[in-house]
A and B are shown apart, each in its own frame.
Chain A
Amino acid sequence: MTKTMKTASPILIVGLVFLALATLSLGTGSMNIDPPALFSALLGTSDPGTSLIVWSIRLPRLVLAALAGASLALAGAVLQGITRNGLADPGILGLTAGAGLAVTGLIWLQSHGIAVEPHWRPAAAFAGAAFAALVTAVAAQRDGAIAPVRLLLAGIGMNALIGAATLVIAMGLDQQLYSAAVVWLSGSLSGAGWSASTTLAPWLAILALALAAQTRRLDLLSLDDETAAGRGLAVDRCRLRVAAIAVGLAGAGVAFSGGIGFVGLVAPHMARLMVGPKHAVALPLAALCGAAVTVAADLIGRTVFAPLELPAGIVASALGAPWFIWLMWNGKDKKG
């Protein structure tokens, strides 16, 4: 098998899986729509009722799920690469928690009569993630260098700290706002409209492009620092640059749909299992896997217990946590 075939076929396969999931997701709900009807609804040739369901309810939700999933997966892939630890992801390193704290803070302000427009929420989530990343990095650094293991430990500490702070703030909320906070924190795509996706898409595009320019440097960063430096990489500067991109991606990923856990962990692993560790092929595949996993999690969450709806984040965690434990157990991703 040639090299291009080896990388092209996983992308094709995951792409097809994604399309199948998307079709299923668009067709399933309070009113089921079969593929031909779905197709004509997408083309705008079906009855207005079906068109409305597809175009203003299910499609924006699907697109947001895919974009958020792709963002989180890319963020996770980069974080795993630069920490050289397969257990790193935006959740583990405290970025999601930082975003959650910021959003809970906004809701708290609201409960105290300081109304903040909802569209500030993404900005707050982004700032929260960046703040958490900064504190984690400062806590992890020693003599100006950040050792991968220390970063992971600092992230775990940050998570505990921020989680506690978020809980304290959330407990001060009234019942209704508390539920709103909890829904966001658990990662829900419920009620997503087009505005979320149209805000998110350009962000994702810019950050993904920035990342595309760094794939070979990311490859070197997954070696030890000395070997990477010996190949001409300005290691610390480069790690900082891609970490900033990852924080941006994580912020984008959680800004609208909240912390959908474990997607950032699982998707990069799936990609590497299929095409190996080189970022030029692993990153796009990870993004595709992240989109597919998130769409699947949302689909499961809103159909299995229908009419009750589970947030996608809960489903993703329920599926991802065993994977996480299995990874730890197996000691995958060893270096040599």
Chain B
Amino acid sequence: MTIEARHLHFHYDNETVLNDLSLSIIPGEITALVGPNGSGKSTLLKALSRILRPQSGEVLLEGKPIQSWSARAVARRLALLPQSPEAPMGLSVRDLAGYGRHPWRRAFQGSGPEDRAAVDRALGLTGMTSFADRMLGSLSGGQRQRAWIAMALSQETDVLMLDEPTSFLDMAHQVELMQLVERLNVEEGRTIVIVLHDLNQAARIAHRMVVLNQGSIAADGKPAEVMTAQMLRRVFGVESDLISDPRRGTPLCLPYAAYFSGPDLEP
């Protein structure tokens, strides 16, 4: 499943969010999208998944303009979990997870054995089996986030796009989710594009790190190439020490000072 963005330009009213951005997602890889708040990560993910139509440029899915695909056809290949999804609080976890089956079902057709198996599997992978009959309104923020991830997983797509899936998770569940992402990638060959704010986590699991800054790609490559003190200063406005992760050898950054408005304020 190839996804390629060519010269994307997107703006709200007069604020440019994506600026002549080109990117091809390599099938079978985990691509981590990182960047400061407001740098355009979520917007890029939505453009890549046909939810936003850029004002100029195009996204090609399997070589064809993504806008020429139907929403359903895209959803059979690519599952996007947005940053802050919303659902009625009275919905049960199992029902929410079942919504991921929509692109595979026909009108008037009840949920078949494959649908139920996919939902059970997604609930199992996210550790939500015991919460299956609970209502969303009765869950903690992290449990709810796992229910949403279960929905994206039950869709059983080649490509998964996750926008900050760890934001509400405790440490153990964050690590667990990272393991799950790696497992889906290694064992099932799924292509994963994931937005993360924890650069160390991103460096640990990603084959490729794409750093966004003000709507453009500021750095793109293997984590070891991308995570440099200079990039961290330029893009994130932090001074940091870089060490090597003792277990994996991937770069770990330890920021020790930050500028509120970028490096210009440096004395």
Which A residues lie at the B interface, using CB under 8 A?
84, 212-214, 216, 219-220, 222-224, 226-227, 229-235, 272, 276-278, 333-336
Chain B residues near A212: list those with CB within 8 A: 108
Q: How far is the CB of A270 from chain B (nearest CB, A)?
A: 13
Asked if B130 is at the interface (CB within 8 A of a chain A CB), the reply is no
Interface contacts beyond A223-B99, A224-B85, A233-B102: sample of 11 additional A-B pairs, CB < 8 Å, sorted by A:
A213-B108, A216-B105, A223-B85, A226-B46, A227-B82, A232-B76, A233-B72, A276-B91, A276-B95, A335-B89, A336-B89
Known: A226-B80, A230-B49. A277 touches B70 (CB 8 A): no
Q: Once the chains bind, are B80 and A335 in contact (CB under 8 Å)?
A: no
Q: Once the chains bind, are B86 and A213 in contact (CB under 8 Å)?
A: no
Chain B residues near A335: list those with CB within 8 A: 86-89
| Residue of B whose beta carbon sits closest to that of A226 | B82
Question: How does the 8 Å CB contact mask read for B100-120 relative to A, with 1 for contact and 0 for none?
Answer: 101101011000000000000
Known: A230-B79, A230-B81, A232-B72. A334 touches B102 (CB 8 A): no
Q: How far is the CB of A107 from chain B (nearest CB, A)?
A: 41
Q: Once the chains bind, are B89 and A334 in contact (CB under 8 Å)?
A: yes
Q: Once the chains bind, are A223 and B71 in contact (CB under 8 Å)?
A: no
Known: A213-B107, A224-B86. A278 touches B91 (CB 8 A): yes
Alpha-carbon distance A112/B2, docked complex (angstroms): 69
Q: Once the chains bind, are B75 and A232 in contact (CB under 8 Å)?
A: yes
Q: Once the chains bind, are A231 and B103 in contact (CB under 8 Å)?
A: yes
Most chain B beta carbons < 10 A, residue from A84, A214, A223, A224: A223
Q: Once the chains bind, are A226 and B71 in contact (CB under 8 Å)?
A: no
Q: Once the chains bind, are A230 and B82 in contact (CB under 8 Å)?
A: yes
Alpha-carbon distance A36/B191, docked complex (angstroms): 70
Q: How far is the CB of B257 from chain A (nearest CB, A)?
A: 36
Q: Pick the contact of B88: A213, A229, A233, A333 (CB < 8 A).
A: A333
Q: Pick the contact of A222: B73, B74, B79, B87 (CB < 8 A).
A: B87
- DSSP majority for the A interface? loop
Q: Pick the contact of A277: B72, B74, B91 (CB < 8 A).
A: B91
Chain A residues near B95: list those with CB within 8 A: 219, 276, 278
| Residue of A whose beta carbon sits closest to that of B137 | A336
Q: Once the chains bind, are A277 and B90 in contact (CB under 8 Å)?
A: yes
Asked if B144 is at the interface (CB within 8 A of a chain A CB), the reply is yes
Chain A residues near B86: list those with CB within 8 A: 84, 223-224, 227, 335-336
Asked if B136 is at the interface (CB within 8 A of a chain A CB), the reply is yes
Known: A226-B82, A278-B95, A333-B88. A231 touches B100 (CB 8 A): yes
Q: Once the chains bind, are B82 and A231 in contact (CB under 8 Å)?
A: no
Chain A residues near B151: list those with CB within 8 A: 231
Alpha-carbon distance A277/B81, docked complex (angstroms): 21
28 contacts between A and B (CB under 8 A): A212-B108, A213-B107, A214-B107, A216-B107, A220-B99, A223-B85, A223-B86, A224-B82, A224-B84, A224-B85, A226-B85, A227-B82, A230-B49, A231-B75, A231-B155, A232-B70, A232-B71, A232-B73, A232-B74, A232-B75, A232-B103, A234-B70, A276-B90, A276-B92, A277-B91, A278-B91, A335-B88, A336-B136
Q: Once the chains bind, are A220 and B102 in contact (CB under 8 Å)?
A: yes
Asked if B180 is at the interface (CB within 8 A of a chain A CB), the reply is no
Q: Once the chains bind, are A277 and B88 in contact (CB under 8 Å)?
A: yes
Most chain B beta carbons < 10 A, residue from A233, A234, A235: A233
Alpha-carbon distance A276/B49, docked complex (angstroms): 30
Q: Once the chains bind, are B144 and A336 in contact (CB under 8 Å)?
A: yes
Alpha-carbon distance A336/B81, docked complex (angstroms): 14
| Residue of A whose beta carbon sits closest to that of B139 | A336
| Residue of A whose beta carbon sits closest to that of B101 | A231
Q: Once the chains bind, are A333 and B102 in contact (CB under 8 Å)?
A: no
Q: Once the chains bind, are B80 and A230 in contact (CB under 8 Å)?
A: yes
Chain A residues near B76: list those with CB within 8 A: 232
